[in-house]
Chain A
């Protein structure tokens, strides 16, 4: 009896040891990709129309991560950890990280990618990334406090706490889409005069709003969530997320006017072990029917112009690249953000430092 128990215990210990030290399947199996996206309902949509169909078509498993920030990519590259394979990034980050050698050049002659390229918007093709969709940062409101008739329609109004009282959520300065452009628009800068950005003026403007800011958002979904939960009345949010929440019946609304538009790119990490699978993934994501399926779930402007053939006209009208919506928005100059000064610092890096001083001074 006693002996029996000891043997059982020894057996269990042995099994536990084997379990720990046996290499995990995911490490051994090269047939997977770690894909990093923006989380929340957006990533749920991607899972449905992009990740699962990709696995079904190619047999390559997708391991999901969230929060593809430039800092994480740099940290991983410098510590020699190849954790990610493919990530969805903003253009300024793509340009900057590509130049620093952290991103792999996209093989534009790849047999699955090359035939798709002529259909893509030229703005969507970079050396180190392939544009997936046009997205927009817009003003949004909670319907507890505001309505389709009564809400801020310009960033200057968004900043006007007298006429539009209530707590705000805006982006943190070190988040992927810093609040610089809209802080300047709020301060009266004309859209055509935005660049070169006057950072000092922008932070002065943010400082004025700061007492009314609930939280500077540093996660992909926090701003929209704060509106849904009623924590904040107004927020600068990603169009796709807020529109989807609105469609689900969440108490929120948004404004097209002065939306800040940019392309989001799929990129491949320089130190990935799965370059072939990653390129196939990027090509798969650029297919018109996939992009159309995504645009049906979230109001994203497809980078593949043929995607509109798969979309109903009513839906097309709700997308940021629809002409009428396009003319009310402002295109972000990613080249400016990636530009370096004499010391080799990009404007994005300079901004990160300024932000840090700003936030600690609060």
Chain B
């Protein structure tokens, strides 16, 4: 009797376990193959179609000096944004690593919150802040720094500020994840050997954090290449980026061939950068880039930069050898160094606050400070069909996406964690890859694909596209959670007579319930916030809230828009707090930190 039971357990583990577990990845795989890979292949094919041979579209892309100029400008913009993000993000990541645990998680929450608060809302906040009658100008004039309002909006300046604000978390997170792994004992021993303060940082900590620097710069560069919303809203007459050109090509000229070719160019550039990113992050695992030639070269250069005696003497002020007269200078430098990361954190959070007073302003026009307080814009939002309709559509859509993506993602995650089959790594990469494909490229592909299925303008078309976008987040969170679950518990349940399915449902599911909630929330938020695909796919009866907000933000600075922005931000923050609460219930590993894996 007993022997038979044990035999059965082994049977479950090998056959009943291994084979069906592998099959669980199929729904997600087939779904992505149909609604993600196939549409992308379609636009690859489209890009080679045309009257004048295979490469006509690419030819017209390369031979058009205007398009090339735009491409070049976009590259410049992305590089600039990446460097600015590095300068601002590094101190914050450094602060996080060195902070006490509770302060560290507070900072982490702020950084992650700014990933999840709608990009549209954040960009809108900058439109308000930088307006001629906005708070920044009001403050400058109040302080007597300027006599008349400066033109800040619709300039290069506003594009940079907005983009850095939106993309800063994408710099901080990879930096943090690398710095976290640096052995601070090395820094301490350097100090004990006389290389403390700035020099210790420069010679020991900085070289070890280099993989994070390179990864962060690459990631920000990559995301800003495909960035649409912020430059489109904050840019002036000449600030056209490559993705804006793709949108124009389609919306105005219906030029599918060229739009596809441009999308493919962007996609290939992205993939190359991702490959580079992964290469660098992997080499980091092998002891901080010691065997990596690029990084090795970089750190040698850095070290030799300080070898010259003059440089060392100048920097020595901040490092060692500070005596008497330079002590006060050292104190000031230390103060500034300490203040910088907090200023950056303020820069991340404060702009959002501006929309609150605006949404309560009694003036229908932009005025700072607001002349009076009223709740009528909120009342208006909930009494106007042109807002209520999109709100209903978005909530409905996001619920469906949240549930759908979590189901598909759960099955796939079980297969990816428990199963062992050839090509598993590749498959995992494929499932999370929608995260890195520029949304505009996906939008172009989806529009073409859904129109042919007759799903353009329908809720189903939107839901299918959003599940593609949400699935990676679900899988990252759930695989992380499943890895922490001891499979021994399930086996014990099976040994006691439960079938594998019942054992999973009764034992493992309750254990990962917080992660399920988190991934459902993330999927909900991905869909609730998504604009670019909705711009192309949503029809009049299925207009989503972000699309409605996009119209409102582009057209008029109406306090009702601010009221909606406050409400949307509220939903995002509430979702995050729920996720954080779920996380704190998980004893061993944190979901939020699992999310961090997204960036690794």
CB pairs A–B below 8 angstroms (8 shown): A16-B399, A64-B386, A72-B251, A213-B237, A221-B555, A231-B153, A250-B365, A357-B66
In the assembled complex, A210 has its CB within 8 A of some CB on chain B: yes
Q: Pick the 9 closest A-B CB pairs, nearest first.
A: A360-B66, A26-B541, A230-B132, A362-B238, A221-B555, A20-B400, A34-B540, A71-B252, A79-B451
Residues of A that sit less than 8 Å from B by CB = 2, 6, 12-13, 16, 19-21, 24, 26-27, 34, 39-40, 63-67, 71-72, 74-75, 78-81, 83-84, 167, 174, 210, 213-216, 219-222, 225, 228-231, 248, 250-251, 352, 357, 359-362
Stretch at the interface among B194-202, B315-323, B456-464, B479-487: B456-464
Cα–Cα distance between A222 and B67 once the two chains are bound (Å)? 26
The 8 A CB mask of B50-93 against A (1 = contact, 0 = none) is 00000000000000001101100000000000000000000000
* B interface residues, tally (CB under 8 Å): 50
Known contacts A63-B540, A222-B554; is-contact A2 B506 (Cβ 8 Å):
yes
Which B residues are CB-close (under 8 A) to A216? 237
Known contacts A167-B151, A231-B132, A352-B252; is-contact A225 B555 (Cβ 8 Å):
yes
Interface contact B251-A71, CB-CB below 8 Å: yes
Which A residues are CB-close (under 8 A) to B385? 64
Interface contact B540-A83, CB-CB below 8 Å: yes
Cα–Cα distance between A216 and B248 once the two chains are bound (Å)? 15
242-257 of chain B: CB within 8 A of chain A:
250-254
Q: Which one of A39, A174, A359, A362 contacts B555 once the chains associate, using CB atoms below 8 Å? A: A39
- A-B interface contact total, Cβ < 8 Å: 117
Cα–Cα distance between A209 and B385 once the two chains are bound (Å)? 41
Interface contact A221-B556, CB-CB below 8 Å: yes
Given contacts A83-B540, A360-B70, A362-B237, 13 further A-B contacts (CB under 8 A): A6-B505, A20-B459, A67-B551, A83-B457, A210-B237, A214-B151, A214-B236, A225-B555, A228-B366, A229-B133, A231-B131, A231-B154, A362-B238
Q: How far is the CB of B95 from chain A (nearest CB, A)?
A: 37
Known contacts A228-B365, A231-B153, A360-B66; is-contact A81 B133 (Cβ 8 Å):
no
Cα–Cα distance between A12 and B557 once the two chains are bound (Å)? 39
Q: Which one of A13, A63, A64, A78 contacts B254 once the chains associate, using CB atoms below 8 Å? A: A78
Interface contact B557-A219, CB-CB below 8 Å: no
In the assembled complex, B396 has its CB within 8 A of some CB on chain A: yes
Which B residues are CB-close (under 8 A) to A19? 396, 399-400
Cα–Cα distance between A80 and B454 once the two chains are bound (Å)? 9
Interface contact B132-A229, CB-CB below 8 Å: yes
In the assembled complex, B351 has its CB within 8 A of some CB on chain A: no
Q: How far is the CB of B566 from chain A (nearest CB, A)?
A: 20
Which B residues are CB-close (under 8 A) to A67? 551
Which A residues are CB-close (under 8 A) to B109? none
Q: Which one of A26, A75, A225 contacts B251 once the chains associate, using CB atoms below 8 Å? A: A75
In the assembled complex, B403 has its CB within 8 A of some CB on chain A: yes
Q: How far is the CB of B154 from chain A (nearest CB, A)?
A: 5
Known contacts A26-B541, A359-B240; is-contact A229 B365 (Cβ 8 Å):
yes
Q: Which one of B67, B133, B407 contacts A230 once the chains associate, using CB atoms below 8 Å? A: B133
Interface contact A219-B555, CB-CB below 8 Å: yes
Q: How far is the CB of A118 from chain B (nearest CB, A)?
A: 34
Cα–Cα distance between A359 and B248 once the two chains are bound (Å)? 12
Q: How far is the CB of A78 from chain B (nearest CB, A)?
A: 6
230-286 of chain B: CB within 8 A of chain A:
236-238, 240, 250-254
Most A CB within 10 A of own CB, among B67, B251, B505, B540:
B540
Q: How far is the CB of A207 from chain B (nearest CB, A)?
A: 12
Interface contact A20-B555, CB-CB below 8 Å: no
Cα–Cα distance between A174 and B505 once the two chains are bound (Å)? 59
Interface contact A16-B556, CB-CB below 8 Å: no
Interface contact B149-A230, CB-CB below 8 Å: yes
In the assembled complex, B539 has its CB within 8 A of some CB on chain A: yes
Residue of A nearest to B155 (CB): A214
